[in-house]
Structure 1
Amino acid sequence: MLNIGCHLSASKGFANMGREAIKLGGNTFQFFTRNPRGSKAKDIDEKDVQEFLKLIQENNFATILAHAPYTLNACSADENTRNFTIEVMKDDLARMEYIPNNFYNFHPGSHVKQGVEMGIEYISGMLNSVLTENQTTTVLLETMAGKGTEVGRTFEELQEIIKRVKLSNKVGICLDTCHVYDAGYDIVSNLDNVLEQFDKVIGLNKLCAIHLNDSMNPFESHKDRHQKIGEGSIGLDAIINIINHPALRKLPFFLETPNELDGYAKEIRLLKENYLE
């Protein structure tokens, strides 16, 4: 079975997101833990949580993915921004325990001319500050396109972060197809080679989830502009190869394409039609 979903609004609660995912034809979804451009988080409704946990069990949901707000930057040059990131992530991870055994994804951050090495040191230090032995949530570093001073453009940078994390068993990778293609990994013509490289550098056992997006820009553009499935430079054939690849096909896939809900439903149908059971 293809584990597929899209990004949904958390404003109406977990149970509504679960029902919306089912309505769209999916069995998982991604959501922001709080305002993506701010810091406010909605209060946890424990009745809603219990309804949601029952719903996903009855409907064989795959692991769901929470996304940290874009305002976080673990390797900012500003100490207040770094401290804010630690504070928000600690709170988010505590809240995630209401829906245990799921994923929490974040953008590693931008080093803002401090250098990649300093960026890696700050990011790994932040993770060492927020991760706990008892948490059930796996925290995912997202692969980045490499625009500006982003950290996480290469597999080597991501592995260097993981290597410095004490509780590295609590950390994994979310591979974004648009990002890695824009970063210079040719998943269109050399998917096997890209995955072999990932396995050699990081290990495929660390690959937990896929952001499934086409790209508005050409290969190695470092732009990070998502496109609808089959309408960008990656193309439908390559996307179909990705969802059916033996190393990837059992992972949860999350659409972040520029769509309304009806567009997501159309893409989910298209992908399910092309998934080899």
Structure 2
Amino acid sequence: MFTIGCHLSASKGYTAMGKQALEIGANTFQFFTRNPRGGRAKPINEKDIKKFLELAELNGINIILAHAPYTLNACSADEKVREFAINTMEDDLKRMEYTPGNYYNFHPGSHVGQGVEIGIKYITEMLNKLLKPEQTTTVLLETMAGKGSEVGRSFEELKEILDKVELKDKMGVCLDTCHVYDAGYDIVNNLDGVLKEFDQMIGLDKLKAIHLNDSKNPFESHKDRHEKIGEGSLGMEAIERIINHSKLKTLPFFLETPNEIDGYEKEIQLLKGIYK
């Protein structure tokens, strides 16, 4: 089954997101747990959650992806920023258990001149503090484009984080097609080679989701600017190979392209048309 969705606004609740996803032909969706540039989250509406779970079961929405706010930086040089990251993720993981068995994605963060090793130390300390054996949520590290002092720009850096996490079964990776291409992994001309490298370094069993985005910038630019599907430096042929690759095609794909909801609907129909 082709599992495809896009980023939706959580402002009206889970049921509204589920209905909107179905209306545009999606069978999954991504959402921010709270304001992406802030810290507050709306209280959980248990009645809304119950209705959403019923809607999801009835319509085959089997997995959804929550995205942490951009302000969550677990490896900041500022202790207060790190405290915010810990408190935010702790709250988010509690909230995720209202919709059990789903994914929670976050950007590893920026070490802001402290160095990658210090950054990775802070990230893994946070994860080892927060992950619980009883949780049903899988936490995903997102592959990053490598701008500034971002951690997670290479498979090696992601592996180092995963290796240091104690509850390894609670962790996975979300591969962003724009980010990895911008970071220097040539998924246009050497998709098999990139996936082989990922498998050898991390293990394809840890790859849980794909952010499906084209890129406004050329290969290895380290810019992180998403483009609409088929309109960037990846191009339509590469996108078609990605969604139909035997090692990727059963994963959930999430669009983060620069679109309004009608644009997402068109892209979802386009991708369904080339999925084999």
Superposition TM-score tier, normalisation by shorter sequence: over 0.9
Report matched runs for 1:265-276 at 5 Å: 265-276=265-276
Whether the 8 Å CA contact 1:145–1:183 is kept in 2: the answer is yes
Other-structure match for 2:30: 30
Other-structure match for 1:171: 171
Other-structure match for 1:83: 83
Other-structure match for 1:260: 260
CA distance in 2: counterparts of 1:34 and 1:110, whole angstroms: 20
Whether the 8 Å CA contact 1:215–1:232 is kept in 2: the answer is yes
Structure 2: runs of 5+ lacking an equivalent: none
Other-structure match for 1:102: 102
Tell me how far 1:267 sits from its aligned partner: 0.1
CA distance in 1: counterparts of 2:244 and 2:63, whole angstroms: 18
Report matched runs for 1:11-90 at 5 Å: 11-90=11-90
Tell me how far 1:168 sits from its aligned partner: 1.1
| 1:43 counterpart letter in structure 2 | P
Other-structure match for 1:238: 238
Identity percentage over the alignment? Answer: 70
Deviations 1:80-134 (A, max 9, x none): 1101100000000000000000000000000001000111111111101110010
CA distance in 2: counterparts of 1:103 and 1:54, whole angstroms: 19
Other-structure match for 1:132: 132
CA distance in 2: counterparts of 1:241 and 1:161, whole angstroms: 29
Tell me how far 1:13 sits from its aligned partner: 0.3
Deviations 1:140-163 (A, max 9, x none): 000000000000000000000000
Matched, 1:199 2:170: no
| 1:75 counterpart letter in structure 2 | C
Deviations 1:36-74 (A, max 9, x none): 000010111101000000001111113100000000100
CA distance in 2: counterparts of 1:109 and 1:256, whole angstroms: 19
CA distance in 2: counterparts of 1:148 and 1:70, whole angstroms: 15
CA distance in 2: counterparts of 1:229 and 1:23, whole angstroms: 20
| 2:39 counterpart letter in structure 1 | S
| 1:141 counterpart letter in structure 2 | L
Other-structure match for 2:158: 158
Other-structure match for 1:216: 216
| 2:268 counterpart letter in structure 1 | I
Deviations 1:164-219 (A, max 9, x none): 00111100000000000000000000000000000000000000000000000000
Deviations 1:207-240 (A, max 9, x none): 0000000000000000000000000000011001
CA distance in 1: counterparts of 2:256 and 2:60, whole angstroms: 22
Deviating runs (4+, > 3 A) in structure 1? none
State the SS of the aligned residue for 1:89.
Answer: helix
Whether the 8 Å CA contact 1:171–1:206 is kept in 2: the answer is yes
Matched, 1:184 2:184: yes
Using structure 1 for the length normalisation, give the TM-score.
0.99
| 1:233 counterpart letter in structure 2 | S
CA distance in 1: counterparts of 2:107 and 2:199, whole angstroms: 21
| 1:106 counterpart letter in structure 2 | F
CA distance in 2: counterparts of 1:119 and 1:216, whole angstroms: 28
Using structure 2 for the length normalisation, give the TM-score.
1.00
State the SS of the aligned residue for 2:55.
Answer: helix
CA distance in 2: counterparts of 1:206 and 1:264, whole angstroms: 27
Structure 1: runs of 5+ lacking an equivalent: none
Give the alignment's Cα RMSD to 1 decimal.
Answer: 0.4
Pairs aligned (count): 276
